[in-house]
Structure 1
Amino acid sequence: MSRLWVVVFPAGGWGPAAAVPSPRSSVGGRPDGLLELESSDPHNIVRLILPQATTPAARNRQAADTLHDWLSEGILAPDPIPGLYVYEQRDGDILQRGIISALRLSAPDEGVVLPHEDVMPHVVEDRAALMRATAANLEPLLLTYRGEDTPGATTSGSAGGPGTGTGTGTAAVIERAAQHKPLLSTTTEDGFSHRLWAVTDPAEIAEIQSDLARHQALIADGHHRWATYLRLRAEHTSPGPWDFGLVLLVDTCRYPLRVRAIHRYLHRLPVAEALSALGDSFRVRTLRCPLPEARAALADAASEGNAFLLAGDGSYHLVDRPSPDILARTVPLGRPEAWRTLDATVLHATLLDHIWRIPDNPEHIAYIHHTEATVEKAEREGGTAVLMHPVREEVVRDLARQGVTMPRKSTSFGPKPATGLVLRDLAF
């Protein structure tokens, strides 16, 4: 296995931004998130990552011009010396810490960075065009690795005990840094507090590099950005800055991530038609209860097999126990059993492709992270919300190690890093 090769931000790269950061959940997961954030402040980071203009080319030029203006005005400032960053997110009992760095890009067959979802080529091309125009990594991927579960380590992700800070390796550097005054401290509108510390001591940087070189990393969030990194690396002369990409690395032995489902909204399929098309292929039970109780029923059903919750007509409909015959006819063979029994696999292969015959494109399907927003959209517009139960992280990691990708938008790992705290210059 090749090395997980972490490098420092060089002097002249951009460090903690004076631009206003945004939680990724607000940028991409809530219908009103973009407009609200853009209007909240003239220096909100969404003006770089999701610029508003009439054509893609105009949007990318606008982002590049905005970035240039912010650099000229001092809204973004270069790092004074090379280094890495320790990054902390905290909200009540949730605590997550990791390392923000540049990571050497590796080919898929090297087994260093493990993807677990497919990507859409047009999204990769859109991101690549924006990155070419700005010559910058505007937001980090979220990567996880499994460090050693050493005595004193945080194993619950709670804010109550972050570990002792003794010993060596990445975890020790992180805990030592967190004892000092942060370089930056802010709170985003989702309630999460964020703190950053610079790691500039060459010995500590070497300690982190040596430790992380022994690990594989799983892409928890950012498959399209990773694919974009790889595409742009192929377009540029090596060695150079395009050989690396901006990432946040989190040890899930110490700071377990939350894994949430990503729900589907079917624009053109009313609930009545969705239920009628099921016939006797699934068991269907109508639940006239509040959403929390319906989600609890979904969790119980999902513990025994494939289960989905349909909404949009004022009730919730628990769809579970697919017939073995229809699964045998619709779920592709030649994949591990863990993949063939995923809810996302059955949803796409059996329900969307075979029973409902709905193409997987934005005209027909929206992917929404927020449960309530998905239900509200279905009830307002007359389509069908398909609520999913989250898959376990260990299932995702095991499939990724086998080189098996899940259907896209199968998982949502979090908390995701806020966008706009650290950016990386590719023009130096």
Structure 2
Amino acid sequence: MPGMGTPELPVPDGLVLRPFRGVRFAVEDPAKVTSPPYDLISDANVEALLSSHPNNVVRLILPCSPAGDSSSAPVPGQDTEPRPVDGAPSSPEAGRENSHPGTGPASPRPGTGPEGSRTGTAPEKRPGAGPSPQAQAPLGGQPDTVTPLPAQAPLESRYIEARDTLKAWLDSGVLVADDVPALYVYEQSGAGVLQRGLIGDVGLTDPEQRIILPHEDVMPGPVADRLALMSTTQANLEPIFLLYDGANGTATRLVDAVASDRQPQVSARTEDGLTHRLWAITDPEEIAAINADLHDRQALIADGHHRYATYRVLQRQEHESHLQADPAGEPAPDGDEPTPPPTGPAPERTGPAAGPIRPVPEPIDQASQRVDSAGARRHDPSAQVDGAPAGEDGPADAGRSTAGPWDFGLALLVDTSAYPPDLQAIHRVIPGLPLDEAAARAKGSWRVHDYDDLARGLAALEEAAEPAFLLAGEIGAHLLTDPDPVQLAHAMPPDRSGRWNSLNTSVLSEFVMPKVWGMRDNERTVRIVHHDARAAARLAARSGGTAVILNPLKAEEVLAVAAGGERVPRKSTSFGPKPRTGLVLRTFAID
């Protein structure tokens, strides 16, 4: 029997997407209250977003005590005109280059760190995080030595501010909850862009179950930060991004039918040129059909590794808290029997990384609760599955828990067979390494091609066989190709798969950085720039350093590594288009 304080957690028996009562902004122009994901927002972006609308969701996801307080929120439907901010970019996406140390006008904010790395310095210590994150290793990785951040105002007040702002907006009607639980069809469209998927409560699983697959390690600092925010607000304020191979199945066909034939509840055009539309699916039969289609599939975490890790930490924390508050458990009604765990051999799964499910690492007691595959919580007798009430709780002994809102996390699920992802590269900038020195030192193990201008170098990189890297800075560019095979083989870790060792980011982190340049690819020495190679070169030129420009990985490479139970090196992938934050929120009390 589990000991006190270590409850058995509900175990989903497949990929589950449960309906929830979405919380949405009641404003005239919903675009003005949305934002990019928290980890892609620079300090200048924060000011621009707040100038667009005082109720912008950035006040919840990155609380930073802007002028005014939560009690001064406008009445529902009242918009304010944008106010120009000196030095602010013209759109939230325009400030991405400034999302790195030394390029923004203000000090780092909570939430900065490896998930999208708005800064290259160390994450701050968060309430309840235990030892300082500066002294901790990546969760699943190796220790890094990083420079502590300067002292800041107490972080607890920022999380409390987000909680109080959320409550004030709900009380005043700035935020309104939908009456009926729903799965939400979400569409992003624009020039050359069309992506549709489903937003709902995804059932949380251990990676060993092979249902939801991570492909990157996470760092403790951002997890502690998001944990403090989620636990204080008791909310999921922005969805993670999951991909699965749905083979244009029932769920995808329904998504397309809804987007084609029904009127959206929300339509918003954001400054990046994308139009975002949202529909609610509330019919129990449609929800059951979606979950029947999803049940045996696998999903890959495309964006949101730190938030998914936070979901799982919060899940255990909340179950332990409730166990301590009620150690004896609640007796079940007479005659109600516990749900037995699945028996027999593990079924095969289909999806972006198809393969057999590994056994759950801990034994599942027969009294442990499972999440119903149609998306209903078993302890909620009002939940409908195919028109019939879901089962009630079985007996609960000490150490055993029933499913609650913390056993799910807000997620967008997209079928890659219908909507292939846009996978882009994340480039590095090394301020302390002059470009000429970087190229000279590479000549001992790489073939180095010199180019007079960046455009020619970028064209050559695009055509080069992997692994290949373009070094750029103030003047010219240098393409690295054809590494010495003996030196490369000696540098790559023997305990890694050949697939992992062939990734360009693996070669960079294990060979080029430590062996050629004598440094590690970590937050202390390296800044990162999403997507924009020219922005990386400009940043390198300003800092007198070197930009390392990479070709993007292929989606199938990432999926194959994840299927093998490995993680790609940090900052290897940037999947898009990422879901816009603020279109639909989830609170545990309303859920």
Mark yes or no: TM-score above 0.5: yes
Structure 2: which 5+ residue stretches go unaligned?
A: 1-11, 66-152, 320-400
Aligned to 1:260: 424
> Is 1:5 matched with 2:16?
yes
Q: Deviations over 1:49-106 (max 9, x none)?
A: 1222634223222222222222222221111111110000001232100000001100
Which letter does structure 2 place at the counterpart of 1:8? Answer: P
Which letter does structure 2 place at the counterpart of 1:250? Answer: V
Tell me which of 337, 348, 362 is aligned to 2:523: 362
Moved over 6 A (4+): none
Q: Between Structure 1 and Structure 2, how many residues are aligned?
A: 404
Aligned to 2:208: 109
Aligned to 2:568: 406
Aligned to 1:274: 438
> Is 1:23 matched with 2:184?
no
Check 1:382–1:29 CA distance in 2 against 1; reply closer, same or farther (3 A cut): farther
Work out the CA distance in 1 between the residues paired with 2:54 and 2:43.
20
Tell me which of 203, 221, 229 is aligned to 2:311: 229
Superposed counterparts of 1:18-417, under 5 Å: 18=27, 20-24=33-37, 28=40, 32-52=44-64, 54-149=153-248, 169-178=250-259, 179-237=261-319, 238=401, 239-291=403-455, 293-301=456-464, 304-371=465-532, 372-417=534-579
Work out the CA distance in 2 between the residues paired with 1:363 and 1:335.
25
| Residues 17, 420 of structure 1: 8 Å contact kept | no
Which letter does structure 2 place at the counterpart of 1:21? Answer: T
Which letter does structure 2 place at the counterpart of 1:103? Answer: V
Q: Deviations over 1:125-170 (max 9, x none)?
A: 11111111111111111101111257xxxxxxxxxxxxxxxxxx21
| Residues 22, 419 of structure 1: 8 Å contact kept | yes
Work out the CA distance in 2 between the residues paired with 1:190 and 1:241.
33
Deviation of the 1:17 alpha carbon: 6.5
Work out the CA distance in 1 between the residues paired with 2:14 and 2:587.
23
Work out the CA distance in 2 between the residues paired with 1:227 and 1:262.
22
Deviation of the 1:362 alpha carbon: 2.8
Which letter does structure 2 place at the counterpart of 1:273? Answer: E
Aligned to 2:79: none
Work out the CA distance in 2 between the residues paired with 1:339 and 1:285.
26
Which letter does structure 2 place at the counterpart of 1:230? Answer: R
| Residues 17, 421 of structure 1: 8 Å contact kept | no
Check 1:70–1:421 CA distance in 2 against 1; reply closer, same or farther (3 A cut): same
Which letter does structure 2 place at the counterpart of 1:170? Answer: A
Which letter does structure 2 place at the counterpart of 1:255? Answer: Y
Check 1:149–1:74 CA distance in 2 against 1; reply closer, same or farther (3 A cut): closer
Q: Deviations over 1:333-391 (max 9, x none)?
A: 12221110100001111122222233444332122214132222111222221111111
Work out the CA distance in 1 between the residues paired with 2:43 and 2:519.
22
| Residues 311, 317 of structure 1: 8 Å contact kept | yes
Structure 1: which 5+ residue stretches go unaligned?
A: 151-168
| Residues 30, 370 of structure 1: 8 Å contact kept | no
| Residues 131, 137 of structure 1: 8 Å contact kept | yes
Aligned to 1:162: none
Work out the CA distance in 2 between the residues paired with 1:285 and 1:29.
36
| Residues 88, 194 of structure 1: 8 Å contact kept | yes
The structure whose residues are more often helix, as a share, is: 1
| Residues 29, 368 of structure 1: 8 Å contact kept | no
> What SS does the aligned partner of 1:236 have?
helix
- Could you tell me the TM-score, scaled by structure 1's length? 0.89
Check 1:330–1:38 CA distance in 2 against 1; reply closer, same or farther (3 A cut): farther
Which letter does structure 2 place at the counterpart of 1:262? Answer: I
- Could you tell me the TM-score, scaled by structure 2's length? 0.65
Check 1:299–1:78 CA distance in 2 against 1; reply closer, same or farther (3 A cut): same
Q: Deviations over 1:288-345 (max 9, x none)?
A: 2343x432211111xx221111111222221121111221221101222111010000
| Residues 454, 472 of structure 2: 8 Å contact kept | no
Aligned to 2:93: none
Highest relative contact order (Cα 8 Å, sep 6+), 1 or 2? 1
| Residues 474, 538 of structure 2: 8 Å contact kept | no
